Amino acid sequence: MNGRQKGALSRLLEWLIVRFYHAMGWTAVAVQPVPKKAIIIAAPHTSNWDFIYYIGLTRDLGIETSFMAKKELFRWPLGRFMRNMGGVEVNRQKGGNYVQAMIDEFNRRDEFLLTIAPEGTRKSVGQWRTGFYHIAVGAKVPLIVGMMDYAKKTGGLALAFMPSGDYAADMARVEEFYRSTTPRHPDKAMKSIMAATVQSFDKAA
């Protein structure tokens, strides 16, 4: 993957995160070969620690990934660090079409691994937001099941497949995989991905 130009502070923070990740005994795994462009599904997302270990895991695998974040997080003093870590600014205010914006970003880049947490929050939710799926379909890129198993201290990139356009069928495959992983806070994890309704999918929630 193409290297990012990083300042000294960002490199130091990244080095410290990776050292911490190794010290905690995590092991990284990944599908091979890793696609140059794809949507990485990050779930279940139940803790702020997920981001720390996410940085450690991706750097251990030797890949650079991106993630969407609200524009307020790109202001000083976090702005430069967020971009160095792969942050892509999105406008979630009314009228901001982030799905099309990310499709355009995929079309613009030669390499782009975009990580999205469909739950959209660390709190317990009733259904996934489906924008990640619309982006993958629109950009014609594969979905990769990203996982972080706190019980086994194993994480990385697992199942990879092209979206078929049948959301229910594709998410059934994803849900089957996630049943075998343990998040940091299991009580906050969504009980069933398929709780997402056809109506929410149509609205690209």
Q: Which residues pair with 161 in a beta bridge?
A: 143
Residue 188 covered by a domain? yes
Asked if residue 24 belongs to a domain, the reply is yes
The dihedral sign for the CA sequence 57, 190, 37, 30: positive
pLDDT at 193: 62
Q: How many CA atoms lie within 13 A of 10 on its CB side?
A: 16
Q: Tell me, what's the pLDDT at 199?
A: 40
137, part of any domain = yes
- Residue 64 covered by a domain: yes
Q: Does residue 135 lie within any of the structural domains?
A: yes
Up-side HSE of residue 49: CA atoms within 13 Å toward CB? 14
- Asked if residue 55 lies in contact with residue 14, where contact means CB atoms within 8 angstroms, the answer is yes
For the segment 60-90, what is each residue's pLDDT rounded down to a tens digit?
998 999 998 888 888 888 888 888 888 898 8
Residue 2 lies in a domain: no
Is pLDDT above 60 for 200?
A: no
> Is the residue at 1 inside a domain?
no
Residue ranges making up the domain that contains 59:
8-202
Mean pLDDT over all residues of the chain?
83
Q: Total structural domains in the chain?
A: 1
The interaxial angle of helices 98-108 and 131-139, nearest 10 deg, is 30
Q: How far is 38 from 163, CA to CA, in rounded Å?
A: 11
Q: How open is the CA angle 124-189-131, to the nearest 5 degrees?
A: 75
pTM over 0.85: no
CB 139 within 8 A of CB 107: yes
> Tens digits of per-residue pLDDT, 8-52?
877 888 899 999 999 999 999 998 889 999 999 998 778 889 988
Q: What's residue 72's pLDDT?
A: 85
Q: Residue 117: inside a domain, yes or no?
A: yes
105 CB-near residues (< 8 Å, 6+ apart): 88, 112, 114
